[in-house]
Structure 1
Amino acid sequence: MKRAAIITATLALTLTGCSTVDSESTATGTESQADFLAAHDLGGMEGAEMIDHLDQMPVSQRPTDLLASVRTDELVLSDNDDDVVVDLPENQTYVSIAPYVTQTHDCFYHSLTTCLGELGNENIQVTITDETTGEVLVDEETATFDNGFVGFWLPDEATGTIEITHEGRTGVTEFSTTDDGATCVTDLRLT
């Protein structure tokens, strides 16, 4: 028995030493990152596509073994075993907004797999204005996703207001896409 354990351990060390690994992939982490993304059905997607895919996914189909946190310039993905950081488009920040009437939650970095807003699949009118330039960045009728949020890619370094109207109620709040700005807006109450 002891001899079988020694032979097994030696064989394992020999096989590990003989395996071929692309040293460039290992150094940059691209091989393990690709495996991680493929395991979570995100392979072949850019960061912005991953965000759009996960945020718009029906709540009942969301992965329960993946956390996905949107930062101003990167997407942080993690499961029980690994963490992966994916760069986001330059000069843009994803801001996700959950308008509410009676209930909300505190949030700073939007979690694509766990954040839930009150008003899922509701038609809303959204106007987002840059206070510095006065430019209207978004002015459209849209619907919240199944998770109660609606997301927009906004220019970096912008500050201003978000106004949402839903069934005769309107709410306004501030936003910022500076480095210390929130990607999750949950303080827009409709009154």
Structure 2
Amino acid sequence: MIGAGLLPLVIAGCGTRESESASVTGDQDLLQDYGFADADGPEIIDRLEALAVAERPQDLIASVTATSLQLEDDAGREAELPLPEDQFYLSVAPFVETTHECGFHSLTTCRGELRNREVAVNVVDSSSGKILEEGTRTTHDNGFLGLWLPRGIAGELTCTLDELTGSAPISTQAEDDLTCLTNLQLA
């Protein structure tokens, strides 16, 4: 995880690519060196999450908070990219036997038990009963599946693998809500 020493976010004016790039704080060369110069926070998250574990940069820590993507390499260079104000990234590692504690997802170091497995996913908004996400998703090579959810909701996430099912409450309401869900046991 990246320490609290990261530079504060610069507020973006509009939702255009140009203003999102302008709101990146920290070392622009870090983004360039890892091939992310023209990518925004969500694009980098999706690209790193989709990589096979063996292809993920070993010298880069990429952590997702409720409001930003924070990058730091072995040389101590840091960059922070804002996430959309209306979306929240939740990375979920459903498990049967083995898990780890986590609060803010690390795209380069977190590993889940169920790699490359098809899992049925259902997310329901607790206040409205509206289904926010429903369908089959395949966990990435790191054992996680990523969900881009609306901000400002409390809900229930259910995952099913074969005959095994588990549920967990989720929240996208606060700036300190967790982005890494590793306590959803399938039984």
Q: Mark yes or no: TM-score above 0.5.
A: yes
Q: Which residue of 2 aligns with 1:12?
A: none
State the distance in 2 between where 1:173 and 1:91 align: 22
State the distance in 1 between where 2:184 and 2:155 align: 13
How much is the aligned-residue C-alpha RMSD, in angstroms? 1.6
**Which residue, out of 69, 72, 87, partners 1:75?**
69
Higher helix share: 1
Matches within 5 A, 1:24-43: 33-43=27-37
Partner amino acid, structure 2, of 1:74: S
CA contact (8 A) 2:121 2:134 kept: yes
Determine whether 1:167 maps to 2:124: no
Matches within 5 A, 1:142-157: 142-157=137-152
**Which residue, out of 62, 65, 77, partners 2:59?**
65
Determine whether 1:137 maps to 2:132: yes
Residue 41 of structure 1 and its aligned partner are, at CA, apart by: 1.8
State the distance in 1 between where 2:24 and 2:180 align: 28
Structure 1: any 5+ residue segments left out of the alignment? 1-27
- SS of the residue corresponding to residue 99 of structure 2 reads coil
**Which residue, out of 149, 165, 176, partners 1:180?**
176
State the distance in 2 between where 1:51 and 1:30 align: 15
TM value normalised by structure 1: 0.82
Distance 1:29 1:177, change over 3 A: closer
Equivalent residue pairs, number = 164
Q: What's the CA shift string for 1:88-117, capped at 9, x where partnerless? A: 112111000000000000001000000000
State the distance in 2 between where 1:31 and 1:122 align: 36
Q: Which residue of 2 aligns with 1:48?
A: 42
Residue 43 of structure 1 and its aligned partner are, at CA, apart by: 1.8
Q: Which residue of 1 aligns with 2:108?
A: 113
Runs of 4+ in structure 1 over 6 Å off: 28-32
- SS of the residue corresponding to residue 50 of structure 1 reads helix
State the distance in 1 between where 2:128 and 2:24 align: 40
TM value normalised by structure 2: 0.84
State the distance in 1 between where 2:89 and 2:67 align: 9
CA contact (8 A) 2:102 2:182 kept: yes
For the pair shown, the structure with the greater C-alpha radius of gyration is 1
